[in-house]
Amino acid sequence: MGAGEGRAADGLAVLFATHYARMFADPRMAVLFDTRHADSNASALEHGTRLAATLMDLWYGTREYASLGRGSSFRNVGRAHARAKRCPLRPNSGTGAPRFSEAQRDAWLGHVLIACEECGASAELQHQIGRFLGSRVNAYGPFRDDD
């Protein structure tokens, strides 16, 4: 990996740390973190680093996620999302199918876009990140219509 890509990974980690700080501060999203589990009980920067590493590998073919020593990002995303969907802190936990809600999906993407603004990302970068993630987010459905 070249030096430029290294800086890109760090910059993206800060951007997604900002995203996670916003998730923690949003009552609709904070209930998705089952902090009894060590992987979930991590700082915004640690969560942001994992998401940034996943995206770097996807976009640039790097091995950022492997360098975190956490195994495979594909497996861990599935596990993290399954744990989040079943989190007992959710108001309707235990009822219905374990799914994210439509409002959480939209808030997740909204927090990414506002994090871009808060970090001073260029309009072009914000547009590209928003378009990419917006086109992928439905892969994590189906969604429920309550939180």
Contacting residues toward ligand HEM, per CB under 6 A = 32-34, 39-40, 50-51, 54, 70, 73, 76-77, 80-81, 83-84, 100, 104-105, 108, 133, 136-137, 140
Q: Which is nearer to ligand HEM, 3 or 34 (CB)?
A: 34
Q: Which is nearer to ligand HEM, 50 or 121 (CB)?
A: 50
Q: Which is nearer to ligand HEM, 5 or 39 (CB)?
A: 39
Closest CA to 16 of 49, 58, 56: 49
CA distance 138 to 15: 22
Closest separation in Å from C-beta 144 to ligand HEM: 11
Q: Count the helix, strand and coil residues of the chain and give each as a percent rounded to the nearest 5.
A: 65, 0, 35
> 101 forms bridges with which residues in the sheet?
144
Closest separation in Å from C-beta 66 to ligand HEM: 12
Closest separation in Å from C-beta 135 to ligand HEM: 8
DSSP assignment of 63-125 equals -HHHHTTS--HHHHHHHHHHHHHT-TTSTTTTSSS---BHHHHHHHHHHHHHHHHHTT--HHH
Closest separation in Å from C-beta 16 to ligand HEM: 9
SS3 state at 144: strand
Would you give the DSSP letter of residue 137? G
Q: Which is nearer to ligand HEM, 3 or 141 (CB)?
A: 141
Q: Which is nearer to ligand HEM, 76 or 128 (CB)?
A: 76
Closest separation in Å from C-beta 53 to ligand HEM: 8
